[in-house]
Amino acid sequence: MEQELELIELWQIVSKRWKMIILVTLLAALICAAVSLFLIKPQYVASSTLMVMKPVEAEQILYQDIQVSRQLADTYQVVVHSRRVLDKVTRSLNLPYTHEQMQEKVKVSSVQDTEIITIDVTDTDPYLAARMSNLIAQTFMQEITEIMNIDNVSLIDEAAVPDNPVSPRVGLNIAVAMVLGFMVAVGLALLQHYLDQTLKTTEEVENLLGLTVLGTIPMMEDN
């Protein structure tokens, strides 16, 4: 019963300040939308795909050969991030990025249980992202031939210019901002209620002061 009364009291507090709650929620959504659309630069991802295959002399490819290729794919991910590859790409495209910045822009991953690796490049310029991904793939193929003295990497797909950015996700950001704004607004409503020490009902007078209310003066509207 006590819990039910507390929920009713909470609802009354929130309902009295519903205008403020709606205003704060909408304000949070508008601020988030403005930041996402006008302040955050869109990020584009371009991907190229490579296949690693261990050279075999037999006509049939054995299971051991596939396993070796998969292990090489894991090793080649490190080579892609090396200075030997990324610094050469930086110089070729005359990019204003350090080696550490390039490493942050380039994500290399192997497709699970396959000999395929993908090179994802993130940049604010979709055309530059595609050029970087393709040049990294080409440079890597050249360098790995010199390093390993074998030609066992093939290009499957070149990176295409991405049409849509991957971030910011405006809809998701606005939804999260509205939820957070609503929670903050409810918190402010509760804070205002508990900081307000005025007595507003006869029940509050009787409960807090232990006095019996003899009469009340109604509020009259001015004519």
What is the enclosing helix (H) or strand (E) of 163? Answer: none
Separation of first and last alpha carbons in the chain: 44
Overall domain count for the chain:
2
- 99 and 181 part of one domain: no
**Is 223 inside any structural domain?**
no
Residue range(s) defining the domain that contains residue 75: 44-157
Whether the ω angle into residue 96 lies within 30 degrees of 0, i.e. cis, is no
Would you say 184 and 24 are in contact if contact means Cβ atoms under 8 Å apart?
A: yes
Whether residue 114 sits in one domain with residue 91: yes
Q: Is the dihedral of CA 128, 129, 131, 136 positive or negative?
A: positive
Q: Is residue 222 part of a domain?
A: no
pTM of the complete model: 0.71
Query: For residue 117, is it within any domain?
Result: yes
Helix axes 18-34, 2-16, angle to 10 degrees: 60
Same domain for 151 and 50: yes
| Same structural domain, 80 and 33 | no
So what's the pLDDT on residue 200?
Answer: 64
Do 140 and 102 share a structural domain? yes
- Is 116 a domain residue? yes
Task: Report if residue 162 sits inside a domain.
Answer: no
Asked if residue 218 is part of any domain, the answer here is no
pLDDT, residue 133, reads 96
pLDDT at site 5: 44
Query: 55 and 31, same structural domain?
Result: no
**Angle, CA 130 vertex, CA 127 and CA 134 arms, to 5°:** 140
Residues 131 and 32 occupy one common structural domain: no
Q: What is the DSSP string of 94-144?
A: T----HHHHHHHEEEEEPTTSSEEEEEEEESSHHHHHHHHHHHHHHHHHHH
pLDDT of residue 163: 93
**Residue 21 within any structural domain of the chain:** yes
99: in domain: yes
Mark whether 51 and 9 lie in a shared domain.
no
Phi, psi (rounded to 5 degrees) for 143: -70, -40
pLDDT of amino acid 204: 66
Same domain assignment for residues 136 and 67: yes
138 in the same domain as 117: yes
Write the CATH number for 127.
3.30.70.1130
pLDDT, tens digit only, all 223 positions of the chain: 444 547 777 787 788 888 999 999 999 999 999 998 889 999 999 999 998 875 444 444 444 555 655 667 777 888 999 999 999 999 999 999 999 999 999 999 887 777 788 999 999 999 999 999 999 999 999 998 888 777 778 899 999 999 999 999 999 999 999 999 999 999 888 888 778 767 666 776 667 666 676 666 666 666 5
154 three-state secondary structure: strand
Residues 124 and 92 both lie in one domain: yes
